[in-house]
Amino acid sequence: MVADFSGGHLSSDGGALLLRQADQSIGLSRRMAGCFRDERDPRFVEHSVEELVRQRLMALALGYGDLNDHADLRRDPLLAVAAGKTDPLGAQRVSDPGRALAAPATLQRMETAIDHKASRYHRLIAEPALLRAQLLREAVRTLDPKARRVIIDPDATDARLHGLQEGRFFHGYYGDYCYLPLLIYIGDVPVWVELRTADGGAARGVVTALEAIVAAVRQRCPHAQIIVRGDSGFAQEELMAWCEAHRVDFVLGLARNARLLESLGPTLARARERAALCGGRTRQFTEFSYRTLDSWSRERRVVGKAEILGDKDNPRFVVTSLAAAAESADVVYEQIYCGRGDMENAIKEHQLELFGERLSCAGFASNEVRLLLASFAQLLLERLRVIGLQGTALARATAGTIRVQLLKIAAQVTVSVRRVYVRFATSFARQEIFAQAHAQLLGWADSS
């Protein structure tokens, strides 16, 4: 047996064509390109902004988080086709023939130019505020205009730092130097991403973000009830008062204290009695009015869960603006609040599978650009899942599963004067799903 890397124009990422079709169907990278300020001399430009954005976006979706990967990927003709190159073999390039795509240094300058605006070598400058606003517009476009309820999930998570990045801060809870980005989702769709230093609370800046999000959602879904759902880090007077003043409901976790436990005491005692009779595990719910001693401006409805887990009590609380007549205590906790678990999975996907925690640039603003690019890659895969994979076995798959089972396909690429001919592996096990996904993406583009 003899093996080497002389196979010619082959690719291990045949599914990039599905990503290309998804991107064309929704016009994502085309609109993203408008969020960059291009000050380069047109005489020397070989890679347009849209091509650079698409190259980076496709690579993230395909599992290439490091810019160094592009040193080899730039020779991949299939990735070049997905990025929009008309010369996928790079045969017509004068300066660097045989490499159709941009080098790692070019992509690095695109991400970090915002921290080097005075440099003559950094002339393609990202605008994080424009990218954030564009992400919101793209996300809201995914909502059903006839939706009757929209749940907005904000959360804070840590992005560990392993260098001397600007704005790094030691966070006692996470036990390391990190950033504390704010991520907001509606379902599986990222709607807001904002990089923050770790020297503040989880709810810092969330009201400003909600002002923009709620306005956009109401324009898209004028008849929808809007609910903000978050953990105890967001149960702040500023957020709850803003929601009450703007006809937005909330369901927020509430950290337990002695007064809350005292109010839950009778229910917890009944739960212990019931657990003794039915195997040691049970839960009961109650509700009561509650107001803090000095931080809240008014009494609010609190739902308490009295749960017994064998020999351990597990009391939990949420504060909500939902009326008891509309939503009972158990529905508020089990059906609405516990739905946050899906959003937690989306954050894990963003950080672990789309490299949202890989913030190794020296500058703070450059790291925010990276964070936003990961969110756009997540949005692209979410659209592939919802539009292309609807009705298939991968309709609820994670980004990692979609990547392994559908995007990592062996392909042989033949380029002629008139066409690019791609031959996939005959033994590919997901041929029917691939064909169905492409047809649905193409049909959605035609209908939209």
Q: Give yes or no for a contact between 35 and 129, defined as CB atoms under 8 angstroms apart.
A: no
Mean pLDDT over residues 49-78, rounded? Answer: 96
Q: What percent of the chain has pLDDT over 90?
A: 88
Q: Give yes or no for a contact between 258 and 264, defined as CB atoms under 8 angstroms apart.
A: no
Q: What is the mean pLDDT of the chain?
A: 94
Q: What is the pLDDT of residue 39?
A: 92
Distance CA 84, CA 101 (A): 10
Q: Give yes or no for a contact between 107 and 52, defined as CB atoms under 8 angstroms apart.
A: yes
Q: Which residues pair with 226 in a beta bridge?
A: 150
Supply the pTM of this predicted model. Answer: 0.95
The encoded tokens of residue 84 equal 């929009």
| ∠ Cα 347 348 353 (to 5°) | 115
- pLDDT band at residue 7 under the 50/70/90 scheme: confident
Mean pLDDT over residues 353-366, rounded? Answer: 95
Residues in the chain: 448
User: Is residue 447 pLDDT above 60, yes or no?
Assistant: no
* Residue partners of 443: CB distance under 8 A and separation at least 6: none
Pairing between β-strand 249-253 and β-strand 176-179 as defined by DSSP bridges: unpaired
Q: 323: burial class by Cβ within 10 Å (0-12, 13-18, 19+)? A: exposed
- pLDDT band at residue 364 under the 50/70/90 scheme: very high
CA dihedral over 428, 430, 432, 435, signed as positive or negative: negative
| Alpha-carbon distance values, 327 to 87, 147, 303, 314, 321 (Å) | 59, 18, 11, 23, 10
